[in-house]
Structure 1
C-alpha cells in the first residue's frame, strides 16, 4: 500500500492516509529507541545495524540564547522544520504522544503521503546550567515506504548555544524503497540540510 497524490495533498487526503494506515511497521522493541540512542558503539546502535537499519544523524547550530531556544521549540511545535515547498506536515498537528501525522513529500511528479505516529515527547530544563531541550520522536506506520523512527530536537547547551538535531534509523519497507534506497538516503541528508535552514531562518526572524 502506497499513498500517492498527483497534486499537493489536501487535508482530506492526508486524513484518509492516516485513517487507512495500519500499526507501527517496525519491531516493537525499537519503539522509542531514538529517545535513548547514543551514537557511540553501544548495544542499541549495534543491534539496529545488525537488523538492517541505517542510522542518519545531523546536528547543526541554529542560534544562541534562551530566546533562540524558545523559537526553536516553537519551530518544532508548529512543524516549521517541514516548511518546505516539497515537504510539509499540517502545522496544526499537535505534538503529543499517540498523535498520527502525515508527512507529504513531492518526488518528481507525484506526492507521497507517509503516515507516522508520535511515540514520545521529551522536554528538560536546568536553570542552574542553562541546559534545556525539547524534542519528539515519530515512528513509521504501515503504508510508509520506510520502517523506523526519527527524532527532531532542539537543545541549548551550557554555553547557551542552540542546536537543531535530527536522528533516525530506517530501512526499506516497500519494494519501491528497496529499489531506490540509495536515492532515499541522499534525500534524507538533503532534507536535514534544508530543514536546518528552515529552523535557523525561523529562529533568526523578528
Structure 2
C-alpha cells in the first residue's frame, strides 16, 4: 500500500494537487467557489495537553483514534508526505489520497494541512491545528475548503459538507480524550 501511496505524489510541488489554491488554509482567505469549513473546539488546558494533542495531530494518532485508516509515507506529517485517509462505511471503504502541504511546529501552534491529489472524492485542502493560548487553554481548529471531484460527491450534495462537519467534531472529541489522558 505504501508503494501505491507514493505513486500518487511522484510529481513534487503544486502540480500534484487537484486544486490551484495550494496553501490557502495557512495564508487565507479561503478561496471562493468552495464549501468552507471552520470548526474550533477547546480540548484542554496546559502545556502537557498541548504537547499530547500536537503529537497526536502530527503523527496521525488523532485520525486513527477517530476510526480512520491511515497510510502515510512518513510517521509524522511533513511537507510532501503522501497520505491516504480512509473510512469504512459498512462494506465500503472510501479512500482519500492527499499530500501534506505545510506544517507548523512551534511553542504555541502545532499542526499541518493536506491537499487533495488524484483519486480523492473532493478537491481542496484541510488543516488541523492545535494552539496553546496565553491563558493556558488549548484549542483545536479544523479549517477546510472543498468541492466535489467525483460523481458520487456531486450527487450527495449537501450531505458531504454535513459529513465533513461531523468528522471535524469527531476529531475534536478524539483529541480532547487524547489530551486528557
> What TM-score do you get using the length of structure 2 for normalisation?
0.88
Instruction: Show structure 2 runs of 5+ residues with no match.
Output: 11-15
Moved over 3 A (4+): 90-93
Q: How far apart in 1 are the matches of 2:8 and 2:100?
A: 17
SS of the residue aligned with 2:171? Answer: helix
Q: How far apart in 2 are the matches of 1:68 and 1:59?
A: 16
Q: Name the structure 2 match of 1:107.
A: 89
Q: Name the structure 1 match of 2:22.
A: 31
Correspondence 1:181 to 2:169 = no
Paired residues of 2:5 and 2:71 also in contact (CA < 8 A): no
Correspondence 1:95 to 2:47 = no
Paired residues of 1:17 and 1:114 also in contact (CA < 8 A): no
Q: How far apart in 1 are the matches of 2:149 and 2:75?
A: 25
Q: How far apart in 2 are the matches of 1:124 and 1:93?
A: 19
Q: How far apart in 2 are the matches of 1:86 and 1:71?
A: 18
Paired residues of 1:79 and 1:90 also in contact (CA < 8 A): no
Correspondence 1:167 to 2:148 = no
Paired residues of 1:62 and 1:196 also in contact (CA < 8 A): yes
Q: How far apart in 1 are the matches of 2:9 and 2:130?
A: 29
Correspondence 1:81 to 2:74 = no
**Larger C-alpha radius of gyration, 1 or 2?**
1
Q: How far apart in 2 are the matches of 1:75 and 1:17?
A: 21
Instruction: Show structure 1 runs of 5+ residues with no match.
Output: 1-11, 38-43, 126-131
**Count of matched residue positions in the alignment of Structure 1 and Structure 2:** 175
Q: CA RMSD in A?
A: 1.9
Q: How far apart in 1 are the matches of 2:159 and 2:89?
A: 11
